[in-house]
Structure formats: C-alpha cells, structure tokens
Structure 1
C-alpha cells in the first residue's frame, strides 16, 4: 500500500480548513485509490475516508469527484505524487479474486 502526504481543503463544521497532513495512496488488495483527511480530535478517525471498498476508485479523477461531492478537494496534486500513484496502481494490481475470498468480499461490500 502506498501512502503520500498531501494537503486537502474542505468545509469542516461550517468552516473552510485545510489538512496539510492528509494521506492519499493506492491499496493493491482492494484495487482502489484512497484518501484520508481531518482526523477527529478524540477518536483519530478521519472525517474524510474514501476508498475503503474493493474497486471503489480505479482512477484518481473518480477519487477527486467523490472528495468534491463530500465538500473536500486535494488539487492541485503535486506532479511527483500523481506520477507515483499511477505507477503504484500499475505495479500493485493483482489478479481478480475467485472463489471463497471473492464471495466474502462481496458479502462485506453488500450493505443490504
């Protein structure tokens, strides 16, 4: 799993803020990009945590659109980080899961 520190901006509790310690990366087992920002002061869980499901965001553009829909943005993304993320996806993709593991993931990802 790759992890890169970036700055995410957004509206948190009605105020425009930025998180210079946000994390973006690629998760090979889930085959998705992810984004974490604005840790909660008491629980340390991020207020923004995208990319927790299998194939959630297969393109950086999709991750950005999801962040924007939640009131956040991480652009401009440093060019060096963008290049590394694309490389991480190319080298980290694994073959599709079959059998029991695939069935388990489907059950975990099914909200109903």
Structure 2
C-alpha cells in the first residue's frame, strides 16, 4: 500500500496531514483526512471497498461531492500514484490512458 501526505481542503478547513495512496488488495485509490477527535477513524475516508476508485479523477470527483478537494497534485506525486497502481497490477509501465489522465489532473480547475 502506498501512502503520501497531501493537503485536503474544504468546508472551511484544511488538513495538511491528509493521506492519499493506492491499496493493492482493494484495487483502489484512497483518501484519508481530518482525524476524528474521539476515534482513530478519519473524518473523510474514501476508497474503503474493492475497486471504489480506479482513477485519481474518480477519487477527486468523490472528494468534491463530499465538499473537499486535494488538487492540484504535483506531477511527480500523480506519477508515483499511477506507478503504484501499475506495479500492483503487474504492469511495468503506465499505459497511455493513465498518462493522459495525469495531464488532465495537473490542469488547474
């Protein structure tokens, strides 16, 4: 499982210690942010079931639908995340569709 620290913003707050990554057993990208004050669970936790988010753009859309955002990811981090997924699936290089997705993710909205 890969884990990278990023900043998630939304609903008038920011979490500079949020985590994004790829979970090979669940075959999904995930996002965790805003630690709950009373439990160990994150207040925002996306990507908890099999193939929940197969692309970073899917994960971003879900975050936005909950009132949060984590963009823009740096090109280097976005590439690492795509490489993590490729490595977990046994592919040695990013395929063209994922590479195109990286270009789209790095454009400011």
Structure 2 segments unaligned to the other structure (5+ residues) = 91-109
Flag the structure with larger Rg. Answer: 1
Q: How big is each residue's C-alpha offset from its partner over 1:57-86, in whole Å with a ceiling of 9 and x where there is no partner?
A: 000000000000000000011221101000
Partners of 1:93 and 1:46 in 2: how far apart? Answer: 27
Give the whole-Å Cα distance in 1 for the aligned partners of 2:16 and 2:76: 17
Q: CA RMSD in A?
A: 0.9
- Aligned residue number for residue 4 of structure 1: 4
> TM-score under structure 1 normalisation?
0.78
Partner of 1:74: 70
Q: What is the correspondence of 1:100-111 to structure 2 with a 5 Å cutoff?
A: none
Aligned residues: 90
Q: What is the CA distance between 1:30 and its match in structure 2?
A: 0.5
With the length of structure 2 as denominator, give the TM-score of the two structures: 0.80
Residue 83 (structure 1) aligned with residue 65 (structure 2): no
Distance 1:9 1:58 in 2: 22
- 1:1-112 superposed matches below 5 A: 1-11=1-11, 16-93=12-89
